[in-house]
Chains A and B, each alone.
Chain A
Amino acid sequence: MSAASPAPASGPGSASGPSSARRIVGAVIHQPYIWAIVALLLLLIINLVKDPSYLGVSVNATTGNLSGNVIDILRASAPIMMIAIGMTLVIATRGIDLSVGSVMAVSGAVSMEFMNNSGGGDAGTAIMAAALALGISAVLGTVNGVLVSVVGLQPFITTLITMLAGRGLAKVITSGQNTSATNEPFRWLANGTVFGFPVIFVIGAVIVAIVAILVRRTALGLMIESIGINPRAARMAGIRPIGILISVYIVSAVLAGIAGIFSTASVMTVEVAKTGLNAEMDAILAVVIGGTSLAGGKFSLTGSVIGALLIATLDKTIVFLSIPSSATPAFKAIVIVVICLLQSQRVRALFARRRSRTTPSAPVPTRKETVSA
């Protein structure tokens, strides 16, 4: 995945890169998520200006672990990446999944409660807890999928219901408590490292890669896009919309379940009222920033990954610049509005027109043209 590459590719001083890099830039520049990349770089530059060592990554000599702000961003981006990927697939079918935040809470509640009650600190318990959490997430996803595809409810309403019911379910599971547990293997998921990289990010990247392969190397992506662009025509061409719709809602819920495990494992506590709160908004924003239209159809997983990275970077930057917490949502909103504006058809057309106007090849209409029969 190109997830980690854009940041170091061009530092602040590399205005004139080598020609091979220029070709890659040329390919990327026409992608809808180009402005997300620009914003990401800008945020990093702002941070660099404040602290020239911001991008520094240090290696711990004894453990080989990498540490630094970039590593922190990667770690923080993993849960957002999970829900953004699932959300991308759902949105591509003309749907939306508002329940991802609640599913995160349910997943966290189930795993914490299980480990708390079983009391085992071994890897087996951790695996059981995770499997149980993802199983229940999948059930919630199935409910969404069946209501949308078989019953024909609107995705917005359906997932709004599961969003409300899900958080209630999480509270029922923990009896309203913020359940904690101790289990080192489970905690390792969020705090451990593999080859110096955070486990959470490595798992996230692997899952993104699996989903990307599943969707783009099979015909699933084509079918999802077909349903999103023209559901009636897709059905007439022999695609079974029900199966695909149920699948994408299950995938979205399971990925949200993974995100729930990620975000509870770091503190080994589920805060039933806060875990995954407003996560659906982050996911939808990441998808939109990544260039997938909310109207469904064509989607870009790479774009959503970049969107997730941008949101994680934005969150970190807000803390780093010590913007008062009361102003955080407004700051976030401004950045996102600007990106969405830059991506809009109208603004892009404006840029394109300006560019064509400056090129000398644009013909000047001459009035006197001889009539050629």
Chain B
Amino acid sequence: MAPTEPIVEMEDISIEFPGVKALQNVRFRLFPGEVHTLMGENGAGKSTLIKALTGVYKIDSGTITVAGGPRSFSGTADAQNAGISTVYQEVNLCDNLTVGENVMLGHEIRGPFGINWKKTHEAAHEALVSLGLGDLDPQQPLSSISLALQQLVAISRAMVTNSKVLILDEPTSSLDANEVEGLFQVMRRLRDQGVAILFVSHFLDQVYAISDRLTVLRNGEFVGEYMTPELNRTELISKMIGKDYGTLAALGSNRGRVAATEGTPAFYKATDLGRKGSIEPVDIEVHAGEVVGLAGLLGSGRTELGRLIYGADRPDSGEVTIDGVTSEVHSPIAGLSKKIAFSTENRRDEGIIGDLTVRENLILAVQARRGWARPLSRREQNELCEKYLLELNVRPSDPERPIKNLSGGNQQKVLLGRWLATKPELIVLDEPTRGIDVGAKAEIQEAIAALAEDGMSVVFISSELEEVVRLSERIVVLKDHRKIGEIVNGPDVTADTIVDLIATEGSAS
């Protein structure tokens, strides 16, 4: 396909928020029949650009041209009328309605006696068939189908309005490999029908699998527009983070060594730690200065084990010794006072307090441990903020900004700061790098390695096995809510070692 005229053309777009230039003279083009991926680190301005295109934000300067005509969007409805539809990471559909009702919501087919439900569902079926989703029953309640299918329903819904432009903002972050392939098939089908697709993802494999064209942003500025085959991954990453890929590659390979802690007493030791319905009794030891990885598939019990260690859930069996002392850790505050910290995988629901400032979020755990009657002085708070915002490279580094205005990766860094500020001796990190980009990921991995180097015990949970292998000294492998093995990391251990263990264990039992 050799498109002559872009359907969307954004020129010299600038958006300024109080104190921050979110976008500076950014340009972006979208051609029909093409998948165009927007790349950049967290905070690079991807979301801001999308929100400008969908009418959520008003642009301060620049022009947006859609289908040849200049547009000025003053709301999302304007963008929708211009044929631009968006499917967000969190599906915005009605759980309690049927699939068909969701697809047709607002476009129901009317007869003489109000809505003709039969025809409406037929139309929904047609819309689904055109995306290759003919198997899906439009009469089924939405809540009964998987998140991945819901996402496809959301896309069908967008296409009912005959959209010429489809924006997919990180649609793959909670899908497994098969589901991603299903999504890609739908995307290719739409692309062949001439729809222009704007795609955002942090997974490089997916970006290379699906996109025709890339635009890279960095710090709110336009870096370049490239055809995907003409830019290899190393170059892409360097363009995104603005520094050489070599510094990233060098990281962590030195952590493959076997722990020199054998024989010394463990800092944290649990025997038969378990909780009915979440994880069967597990033995686990963590030495000072050691990174223990918890590996396993989603739902294998790795998060549940992490929560028991911290006391987020109440264990109903097991004995825990911390630093040689028998201890009971039955609540988060008990965990904190035993110098354990837990960084959750569920940043939005269990991590950030959205309306509070970065400063308040950062000091919260320290303050909770001190109790309400002994407030940290403003000076102490500022010192903590200064230290951790700088150390963890949080951008923007303004402590008085509400945390909800920060990008995901920077929120994660603030939360990491919250836990480090409590000076823990054991930190449980549950998916600290999920949904954040390569640069921030590397920074967080670096920080974890440095913590262990300084003598902190780390329990590291991640669904990316390569990451677990790279960082951990010992790996506890979990499956179906129980521990199936423990691997001492060494030069021969790779992600495949873990996969094999999980697979063989499955066939043996």
Contacts and interface: CB of A to CB of B under 8 A. Distances in A.
A226 B350 contact: no
A222 B360 CA distance: 8
Interface stretch (B108-116, B150-158, B364-372): B364-372
B333 interface: yes
Interface string A273-302: 000000000000000000000000110000
A239 interface: yes
Contacts of B61: 363, 365
A236 B72 CA distance: 44
B333 A238 contact: yes
Interface stretch (B92-100, B138-146, B228-236, B351-359): B351-359
A233 B353 contact: yes
Given A222-B364, A236-B312, A236-B344, A365 B354 contact: no
A229 B356 contact: yes
A366 B63 contact: yes
A225 interface: yes
Given A236-B350, A365-B63, A225 B356 contact: yes
Contact of A223 (B59, B351, B372): B372
Contact of A238 (B336, B344, B352): B336
B435 interface: no
A221 to B, nearest CB: 9
Interface string A227-252: 00110111111111000100000000
B70 A218 contact: no
Contacts, number: 95
Contact of B332 (A217, A230, A236, A367): A236
Nearest to A247: B372
Interface in B322-356: 331-333, 335-336, 342, 344, 349-356
A371 B11 contact: yes
A233 B350 contact: yes
Given A238-B365, A371-B11, A219 B376 contact: yes
Contact of B72 (A222, A229, A238, A365): A365
Contacts of A237: 332, 353, 364-365, 368, 418
A367 B372 contact: no
B364 A226 contact: yes
A220 interface: yes
Interface residues of B, number: 41
Contact of B12 (A223, A235, A297, A369): A369
Contacts of A367: 63, 70
Q: Interface SS of chain A: helix, strand, loop or mixed? A: loop
B506 interface: no
Nearest to B336: A238
A298 B374 CA distance: 21
B1 interface: no
Nearest to A235: B332
Contact of B355 (A229, A236, A239, A363): A229
Nearest to A217: B375
A366 B62 CA distance: 8
Contact of A219 (B70, B312, B372): B372
Given A233-B350, A238-B332, A240-B333, A225 B368 contact: no
A372 interface: yes
B25 interface: yes
Given A238-B332, A367-B70, A230 B63 contact: no
A239 B368 CA distance: 5
B337 to A, nearest CB: 8
Contacts of A363: 60-61
B508 interface: no
A366 B336 CA distance: 57
Given A233-B349, A363-B60, A365-B62, A239 B364 contact: yes
Interface in A117-133: none
B373 interface: yes
B313 to A, nearest CB: 11
B352 A230 contact: yes
Contacts of B352: 230, 233
A222 B357 CA distance: 11
Which one of A230, A244, A297, A367 has the greatest number of beta carbons of chain B within 10 Å?
A: A230
Contact of B367 (A219, A232, A244): A219
Interface in B407-431: 418
A235 B342 CA distance: 12
A365 B71 CA distance: 10
Nearest to B367: A219
Contact of A372 (B12, B332, B373): B12
Contacts of B374: 218-219
Interface of B: 11-12, 25, 27, 59-63, 70, 72, 312, 331-333, 335-336, 342, 344, 349-356, 360, 364-365, 367-376, 418
Query: What 6 A-B pairs are tightest by C-beta distance, nearest first?
Result: A238-B368, A238-B336, A219-B375, A237-B364, A238-B333, A219-B372
17 contacts: A219-B370, A222-B356, A222-B364, A222-B367, A223-B372, A225-B353, A226-B364, A230-B350, A233-B353, A235-B332, A236-B351, A237-B365, A238-B365, A238-B368, A239-B364, A369-B63, A372-B25
Given A234-B353, A238-B364, A369-B63, 11 more contacts: A218-B372, A218-B373, A219-B376, A225-B353, A225-B356, A233-B352, A238-B335, A298-B355, A366-B63, A367-B70, A371-B11
